[in-house]
Amino acid sequence: MTVNGSPVRRRIPARQHLVDFLREELGLTGSHIGCEHGVCGACTVRVDGDIVRGCLMLAVQANGCKVDTIEGLSDSGELEALQKAFHERNALQCGFCTPGMLMAAQDLVLQKARCSREEIKRHISGNYCRCTGYQAIVDAIEQVLNGQG
């Protein structure tokens, strides 16, 4: 598969999840493991352009796919506007959910030019954050989408 633009070849156990593969085999520890049953969204990564739960997809299912993680999108600068808005608005506290939250937010940014706060909330409603109460996150995403803040 291609991970963050670089080709990767590994022989792995069939049962290994994509997020475990990224973390354990490739050392890409930015994608976090929060629940391992597809609820919290901390392991959100992008596979062939779609965001997926890294804990619900087996690594072998991503065979031949293009996988993007927080590390890759940070280095390419794709997340720069969101990261800046999150930082300014303190849309993170412990930061454990943040990579997954940014992946989900960027998915919305790529899909839509403008969004209501309700649409933003719906889009990130599969990403759990225990620290912020979400308001700052919605503000930050809104700032990037609609140029408000």
Q: Which residues bind other proteins (CB under 8 A)?
A: 15, 20, 23-24, 27-37, 39-40, 42, 69-71, 74, 79, 83, 86-88, 90, 92-99, 102, 120-122, 124-138
Q: Residue 51's closest CA among 128, 142, 117, 126?
A: 126
CB-nearer residue toward other proteins: 13 or 64: 13
Query: Contact 63/84 with Cβ under 8 angstroms?
Result: no
Q: How far is the CB of 104 from other proteins (least distance, A)?
A: 10
CB-nearer residue toward other proteins: 61 or 64: 61
Q: How far is the CB of 102 from other proteins (least distance, A)?
A: 7
Q: How far is the CB of 48 from other proteins (least distance, A)?
A: 20
Q: How far is the CB of 26 from other proteins (least distance, A)?
A: 12
DSSP annotation string for 23-59: IIIT--TTS--S-SSSSS-TTEEEETTEEEETTTSBG
Give phi and psi for 77, each to the nearest 5.
90, 0
CB-nearer residue toward other proteins: 25 or 64: 25
Sheet holding 44-47, edge to edge: 6-7, 2-3, 66-68, 44-47, 50-53
CB-nearer residue toward other proteins: 135 or 148: 135
